[in-house]
Amino acid sequence: MLSSILSLLNTTLMYSAPLIFGAMGGVISERAGVVNIGIEGMMTFGAFVGASIGYYTANPWLGFLAGGLAGALMALLHAIASISFKADQTISGMALNFIGPGLSLFLCRIFFSNQTMTDRVPNKLPKVFNVIDITVFIALAVTILLWFILYKTKWGLRIRSVGEHPAAADTLGINVYKIRYLSVISSGFLAGLGGASMTLAVVAQFTPTSISGQGFIALAAVIFGKWTPQGAYGACLLFAIAQALAVSLGGGKIAVPSEIINMLPYVLTIIILILFVGKSMAPKASGKPYDKGTR
């Protein structure tokens, strides 16, 4: 019994790391007033680039960093569209959710002999004490750092002011566009790290299903966590428990169709959104393009 509980806990932590990275990306972007529902696409592209660089260099840390940079590149496209050109942020994010997987598969066929998946990376990211993935501790550190930045620094105050009332922030000399650009790019970098942590610490290769809804679950965690780093972190752990249960109960261990078991994380996401989304208040300017000329 104890070994089963420990195994479930370890699996929960393992699956929580990609979600946490994605959720922290969602928090910082939305706190600055830009809705980023393209996290799924950013995570997917980060997962592919991370696995590819990890395979060709045999250095998982280099792959991990490259995955983050790949997500940041995708986020830059979102920032240009939604901030500079004031495009609808939801549509821009959804476009990235199509571009990310499509570009990943296209490049995968080029670099891996027309395959739809990468070869397995020779070296995965290390485990602490050979038990817990190091990405779990990095994700926790990122959460603490983001909380400190948002609530204990002048830069965090500026991010939050831009997300609540950008016109007022502008009158105080804060560059709204700069804050939003940096926040969205940071969001993509974190999402890319989340994707890379999946393919370099969990499954050791990129496949078309490596990222299958984790980006959307991370967004649900942002809402459930009321747009705070600590709240989103706790929500990610809750969703990760559902994923861990799906893994633990799978493989014919119980007389329930595997399709039903695999639906657990997504069903839980829908239930939580139904119960809590009406009680959560997003930053007031979230999703609203800012036009300096009409303040």
8 Å CB contact between 162 and 180:
yes
Could you give the CA distance from residue 134 to residue 139 in angstroms, rounded to a whole number? 9
Q: Summarize pLDDT for 102-132 with one digit per residue, the tens.
A: 999 999 999 999 999 999 999 999 999 888 9
Cα–Cα distances (Å) from 2 to 8, 23, 189, 252, in that order, read: 10, 31, 38, 21
- pLDDT given for residue 127 in this prediction: 95
- pLDDT given for residue 124 in this prediction: 97
pLDDT at 294 over 60: no
Token pair 């602490």 is at which residue? 128
CA geometry: angle 180, 23, 132, nearest 5 deg: 135
- pLDDT given for residue 2 in this prediction: 74
* Mean pLDDT of all residues belonging to the chain: 92
8 Å CB contact between 27 and 228:
yes
Could you give the CA distance from residue 40 to residue 281 in angstroms, rounded to a whole number? 23
Sequence-ordered list of residues with C-beta below 8 angstroms from that of 44, at least 6 positions apart, any chain: 100, 101, 104, 195, 210, 211, 215
Sequence-ordered list of residues with C-beta below 8 angstroms from that of 113, at least 6 positions apart, any chain: none
What average pLDDT does range 194-221 have in this prediction? 95
Number of CB atoms found within 10 A of residue 163's CB: 27
Could you give the CA distance from residue 40 to residue 253 in angstroms, rounded to a whole number? 31
Could you give the CA distance from residue 280 to residue 165 in angstroms, rounded to a whole number? 18
Q: Summarize pLDDT for 152-178 with one digit per residue, the tens.
A: 999 999 999 999 999 999 999 999 999
Token pair 């972007």 is at which residue? 29
C-alpha neighbours within 13 Å on the C-beta side of residue 270: 5
Closest CA to 119 of 191, 58, 164: 58
DSSP strand pairing (127-128 vs 132-133):
antiparallel
Backbone angles phi and psi of 87, in degrees to 5: -70, 160
